[in-house]
Amino acid sequence: MARYRAVPEESKYGTCLAGARRTCLSGIAFRAGVGNGIASLKETEVSQADSGTSDMVAGDDPIAAFAAWLAAAGEKEPNDPNAMALATVDSDGLPDIRMVLLKGVDAAGFVFFTNSESAKGEELAVHPRAALCFHWKSLRRQVRVRGLVSRVSDSEADAYFATRPKDSQIGAWASKQSRPLEGRFALEKEVARFAAKYALATVPRPSHWVGYRLAPLAIEFWRDRPFRLHDRLLYHRENLDAAWRTVKLFP
C-alpha cells in the first residue's frame, strides 16, 4: 500500500502538490505488473486513455490548468508527482537533462532548488533558459514548459531550506554536487563532519544552495488518446508581459 509522509513546507510551496493535501509524497513503493505481450499493452493503451471529447483544460490561465493536472497526479502517481525533467545547455550548446522536484508554482513561474555550483547551476549561469517536462504515466498526461530562469531571493531560499529535514540540510553542505568523487567513503566522511559541526545547532543554508524560478513563455498540455491521435494544446506568449495565446497542435 502506498503511504504518504507529510513534510513541513512553507504554505506557498504546498501548491507543488496542488494544496489539496499540502504534503509531499515520498517513500512510496511501486510494483509494476508483468504484461502479457504487445497485445495486452495495446489494450491497456486504449482502455486507459482519457475518454470523451471535452477540452483538456479550461480557461485562459495555463498555471491554473497545470495546478489542476498536478492535483490529479497527486492522487494517482505512485511516487513524486512533482518530479520533472529539467533541460539546460552547456557553454558549447550541448543539451543536458536531469530529474528534479518542483517545489512551488504560481503566476510568476515554476520553482526548484539546487546547488548553484552543480552542472545545471553553472549551465543556467551561462544560459538562463530552460525547459521542463512533467510526465504522469498513471494519467497518461504530459506538460512541457519552456522559459526564462532567474534565482529566487535569498529570503525565499532560506524559508524553504528551513523546512527540509536536518539530514538533507547537512547533505547540502557535504555534497560537492557534480564534481568527481573518489569513493563513497569520501562523501560519508563529509556528511559525518558536518553532522558533528551542527549536531546541536540549526543548520544554515549554504550560500551555493539556491532556488531558481522558470518564468514560462510556453506551456504545452498533452493528453493520450487511442491510436496515437493525442490531444495537444499549447499556451504561448512572446514575452512575460504579453497575454497568453492558445493553439491546438497535430499529434
Q: For the segment 78-95, what is each residue's pLDDT rounded down to a tens digit? A: 999 999 999 999 999 999
Residues in a beta bridge with 88: 96
| pLDDT one-digit tens code per residue, 201-224 | 999 999 999 999 999 999 999 999
User: What residues make up the domain containing 154?
Assistant: 35-162+205-248
- For the segment 114-171, what is each residue's pLDDT rounded down to a tens digit? 999 999 999 999 999 999 999 999 999 999 999 999 999 999 999 999 999 999 999 9
90: in domain: yes
Place of cell 567513503: 185
Alpha-carbon distance of 14 to 168, in angstroms, equals: 19
CATH number of the domain where residue 55 is located? 2.30.110.10
Q: Which of 230, 209, 211 is nearest to 221 (CA)?
A: 230
Residue 192: what pLDDT?
96
Residue 72 placed within a domain: yes
The structural domain count of the chain equals 1
Residues 6 or more apart whose Cβ sits within 8 Å of residue 229: 251
- The confidence score (pLDDT) of residue 50 equals 56
The verdict on residue 82 lying in a domain is yes
Which one of 228, 232, 237, 245 is the catalytic residue?
Answer: 228
Q: Determine, yes or no, domain membership for 187.
A: no
Beta pairing class for 83-89 and 109-115:
unpaired
* Inside any domain, residue 199: no
Q: Is residue 17 part of a domain?
A: no
The residue whose grid cell reads 511501486 is 30
Residue 81: CB partners within 8 Å, gap ≥ 6?
17, 25, 70, 73, 74, 136
Question: Quick check: is 21 catalytic?
Answer: no
- Count CB neighbours of 85 within 10 A: 14
Is 89 a member of any domain? yes
Asked if the structure places residue 27 within a domain, the reply is no
